[in-house]
């Protein structure tokens, strides 16, 4: 249960879509996540009190505000560092912090972006919870970096992480397919080996933080699969066929095995969703 002690009067809270825009237009990472966490606590306090805040409508920016640092570079220009060194582990945590900040914005963006599509309140509950967890993840990564004498912004980071959001700016099913069901599912595949890197180094703080992230990300993929299936069911569409079409249309990379089949299954993502897209990506890659 969040600490509700310092919550302003719920009556003074903006509607949910405007909360999302306020988070998206806050540049500093710690300030963005603090504001989002306060809004999430207010949303759930109002839900629990039986007087839900309005979802409302707002105009989210095409791109969220971000801090001046880190510098954003094309993925091939981001220097690679060996994970066996402390500098390598700092680079790894910095990359995860960047992903988490992007995820904060992605989850608030899905809340504000599609309010013209009528959805149950549970849809908003799920993404507010996911956005709140991403804020926690970003702060955990920042804390780890700061303990190691670094900070978010000290290294360059990947540009282009917002592309999936821009590509699916008017397609809710496309957004669900590409963001939680492809990108966040990929996180489930790669996190265990990352935890292994920190286990080798005996960094218990980073291990604990990454385990929180790993556990909660299963839920985000599950929310994606749940609402994707719900929308397909509402419109009489075959979810698997639609998923394949949308990933082909909007996702520009390859789906790369090995997959974390167990966690993907736990999140409601069956193998016949993702395996057929691997074979295709392999063929495309040889053109």
Interacting residues with Fe ion (CB under 5 A): 100, 103, 134, 137, 184, 217, 220
Position of minimal CB gap to Fe ion: 220
CB of 124 to Fe ion, least distance (A): 16
Helix axes 121-147, 86-113, angle to 10 degrees: 160
Can you tell me the distance from the alpha carbon of 24 to that of 64, in angstroms, rounded to the nearest whole number? 5
Comparing CB distances to Fe ion, the nearer of 129 and 220 is 220
CB 194 within 8 A of CB 269: no
Helix spans in 114-254 (H)? 121-147, 163-167, 172-178, 185-201, 204-234, 239-250
Q: How far is CA 63 from the centre of its chain?
A: 15
Residue 207's contacts (CB-CB under 8 Å, 6 or more residues apart) are: 195, 198, 199
Burial (CB < 10 A; 0-12, 13-18, 19+), residue 88, is: middle
Comparing CB distances to Fe ion, the nearer of 100 and 132 is 100
Comparing CB distances to Fe ion, the nearer of 184 and 189 is 184
CB of 50 to Fe ion, least distance (A): 28
Among 128, 127, 122, smallest CA distance to 224 is for 127
Residue with tokens 């933080």: 209
Residue with tokens 């237009």: 25
Comparing CB distances to Fe ion, the nearer of 203 and 217 is 217
CB of 223 to Fe ion, least distance (A): 9
Comparing CB distances to Fe ion, the nearer of 100 and 105 is 100
Strands 72-73 and 157-158: parallel
CB of 186 to Fe ion, least distance (A): 11
Comparing CB distances to Fe ion, the nearer of 216 and 245 is 216
CB of 100 to Fe ion, least distance (A): 5
CB of 284 to Fe ion, least distance (A): 27
Comparing CB distances to Fe ion, the nearer of 132 and 217 is 217
Question: φ, ψ for residue 7 (rounded to 5)?
Answer: -75, 135
CB of 280 to Fe ion, least distance (A): 26
CB of 97 to Fe ion, least distance (A): 10
Residue 149: how many CA atoms within 13 Å on its side-chain side?
2
Among 102, 101, 100, 109, smallest CA distance to 127 is for 109
Comparing CB distances to Fe ion, the nearer of 13 and 269 is 269
């Amino acid at each position: 249960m969040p600490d509700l002690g310092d919550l302003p009067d719920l009556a003074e809270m903006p509607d949910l879509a405007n909360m999302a825009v306020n988070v998206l237009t806050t540049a500093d990472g710690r300030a963005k996540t603090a504001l989002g966490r306060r809004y999430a606590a207010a949303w759930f306090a109002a839900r629990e009190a039986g007087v839900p805040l309005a979802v409302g409508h707002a105009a989210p920016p095409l791109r969220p505000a971000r801090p001046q640092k880190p510098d954003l570079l094309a993925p091939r220009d981001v220097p690679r560092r060996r994970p066996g060194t402390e500098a390598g582990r700092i680079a790894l945590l910095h990359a995860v912090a960047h992903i988490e900040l992007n995820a904060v914005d992605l989850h608030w963006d899905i809340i504000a972006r599609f309010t013209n599509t009528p959805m149950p309140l549970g849809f908003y509950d799920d993404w507010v919870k996911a956005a709140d967890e991403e804020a926690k993840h970003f702060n955990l990564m920042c804390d780890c970096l700061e303990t190691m004498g670094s900070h978010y912004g000290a290294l360059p980071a990947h540009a282009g992480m917002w592309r999936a959001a821009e590509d699916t700016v008017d397609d809710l099913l496309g957004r669900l397919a590409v963001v939680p069901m492809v990108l966040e599912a990929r996180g489930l595949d790669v996190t265990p080996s990352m935890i292994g890197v920190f286990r080798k180094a005996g960094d218990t703080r980073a291990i604990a933080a990454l385990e929180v992230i790993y556990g909660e990300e299963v839920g985000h993929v599950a929310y994606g699969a749940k609402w994707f299936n719900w929308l397909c069911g509402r419109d009489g569409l075959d979810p698997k066929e639609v998923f394949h079409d949308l990933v082909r249309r909007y996702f520009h990379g390859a789906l790369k095995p090995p997959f974390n089949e167990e966690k993907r299954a736990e999140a409601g993502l069956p193998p016949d969703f993702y395996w057929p897209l691997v074979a295709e990506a392999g063929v495309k890659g040889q053109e």
